[in-house]
Amino acid sequence: MSLKTVEWKDNAVVMIDQTKLPNVLEYVTFTDFNQVADAIRTLVVRGAPAIGVSGAFGLALAALQNNTSEKNELIEFLENAKKILFETRPTAVNLAWGLDKIMQVATDANTVDEIRKNVVETAKKMAEEDVQINMTMGKNGSELFNENDTIMTHCNAGALATVGYGTALGVIRATKDSGKNIKVIATETRPIQQGSRLTAFELKHDGIDVSLIPDTAVGYTMANNLVNKIVVGADRILRTGHVYNKIGTYQVATMAKQHNIPFYVAAPLSTFDMKNNPEDVVIEQRKASEVTGLGDKKTAPDDINVINPAFDMTPPELISGIITEKGIAKPPFEESIKKLF
Ligand code: MRU
């Protein structure tokens, strides 16, 4: 059984504190939507599908926190809570997807009691569906992988980035469960080290053969035939097949093209943004201290200028296929993505 990242328990949101991994597996409990917003902002919970469901749970908490008997007042309170939750992280489209879905359920309800009941039920259902979707996606994607493949992944698109099972790591889990013998190479993923702290941790936890490499060894492992396929997750996919994912994904995809290695992306339909164009997507810029130090240790001179984008964009021409719960989209993506919807 893979880890349960976030869940609704006794009218509270319980999540793994991912900032403490891999050293401590600690769960935190929240009863205030502001705490959930802080948790998303500070990466206690991260990964596009996980923040989508956490946002939905946050809004459900907000509905329980406010005890007005007026529908209009409750909707106004929820709109404000939605804004606070939405502004925590700008790039992953799943957050807006989760919040919009809950807001719609709230506005459709007739009374405050109905709002409170329906938003909690919907958010819980979204969490359950997330695991089911990942399992279906995993099964679909497993057909692309063969006995004795060594698969590279970047960042963490695993159980810890979703409610459970994972997207890219869900594909890896399903491939292993189908009886194929596979190995995984996980990139460290500086500066937050989701690869070493989270991917290596959860694959080891599940008994999957994983080797950790520094990000700087991506070219070396490809040039020396140590990897023959790649699968990563996504924070946002445009209708054109432009994929936004953890910073460094573009480097991995470019290097894969150079070495003729198939590069796959695994993501649920809730990660697709069918409206916007590349120039509309905001890339989150994070604080300098993530780059100027390792833990408490300073590794750069004082007052150095830092550029610290959290995500980058991989263009469609570098992508071999996009794995979803509805099937695998292949190039040309503009056509194949349209068919998924
Ligand atoms: O900054 P993070 O850790 O939230 O970034 C996560 C990623 O980039 C993941 O690859 C992406 O969200 C897909 S998760 C299934």
49 ligand 1 Cβ < 6 A: yes
194 ligand 1 Cβ < 6 A: yes
Please give the distance, rounded to the nearest whole angstrom, from the Cα atom of residue 309 to the centre of ligand 1.
Answer: 13
Domain range 6-134, its CATH number among 1.10.3720.10, 1.10.600.10, 1.20.120.420, 1.20.1050.140? 1.20.120.420
Q: Which residue out of 46, 130, 236 has the highest number of ligand 1 atoms within 8 Å of its CB and is therefore the one to mutate?
A: 46
Fold of the 136-340 domain: Rossmann fold (3.40.50)
Closest ligand 1 atom to 162 CA: 15
State residue 4's pLDDT score: 84
SS3 assignment for 91-152:
CCHHHHHHHHHHHHHHHHCCCHHHHHHHHHHHHHHHHHHHHHHHHHHHHHHHCCCCCCCEEE
Q: Which residue out of 156, 197, 215, 252 has the highest number of ligand 1 atoms within 8 Å of its CB and is therefore the one to mutate?
A: 156
Please give the distance, rounded to the nearest whole angstrom, from the Cα atom of residue 47 to the centre of ligand 1.
Answer: 4
Please give the distance, rounded to the nearest whole angstrom, from the Cα atom of residue 205 to the centre of ligand 1.
Answer: 19
Band (pLDDT 50/70/90 cuts) for residue 2 is low
Percent of the chain with pLDDT over 90: 98
Is the torsion defined by CA of 281, 287, 293, 295 positive or negative?
A: negative
Residue of 130, 149, 235, 273 marked catalytic: 235
Q: Which residue out of 18, 91, 194, 237 has the highest number of ligand 1 atoms within 8 Å of its CB and is therefore the one to mutate?
A: 194
Please give the distance, rounded to the nearest whole angstrom, from the Cα atom of residue 308 to the centre of ligand 1.
Answer: 15
**Is 137 in contact with 266 (CB distance < 8 Å)?**
yes
Q: Where are the domains of the chain?
A: 6-134, 136-340
State residue 267's pLDDT score: 98
Please give the distance, rounded to the nearest whole angstrom, from the Cα atom of residue 180 to the centre of ligand 1.
Answer: 26
pLDDT in tens, 181-212: 999 999 999 999 999 999 999 999 999 999 99
How high does pLDDT run on average in the chain?
97
pLDDT in tens, 249-301: 999 999 999 999 999 999 999 999 999 999 999 999 999 999 999 888 999 99
Packing angle of the helix pair 71-86, 33-41 (nearest 10 deg)? 10
161 ligand 1 Cβ < 6 A: yes
pLDDT in tens, 94-151: 999 999 999 999 999 999 999 999 999 999 999 999 999 999 999 999 999 999 999 9
What is the mean pLDDT of the segment spanning 53-65?
98
Percent of the chain with pLDDT over 70: 99
State residue 296's pLDDT score: 85
Cα separation of the two ends of the chain: 31
Round to whole Å and give the CA distance between 148 and 228.
10
User: Which of 56, 88, 40, 46 is CA-nearest to residue 282?
Assistant: 88
Active site residue 312: no
- Give the predicted TM-score (pTM) of the model: 0.96
State residue 1's pLDDT score: 53
Eight-state DSSP code of residue 210:
E
Round to whole Å and give the CA distance between 187 and 202.
14
The two domains 6-134 and 136-340 share their CATH topology (first three levels equal): no
User: In Å, what is the CA distance from 103 to each residue of 76, 229, 323?
Assistant: 11, 40, 29
Residues 6+ apart with CB under 8 A from 276: 238
Burial tier of 64 (Cβ tally within 10 Å: 0-12, 13-18, 19+): middle
> What residues does 231 pair with on adjacent strands?
264
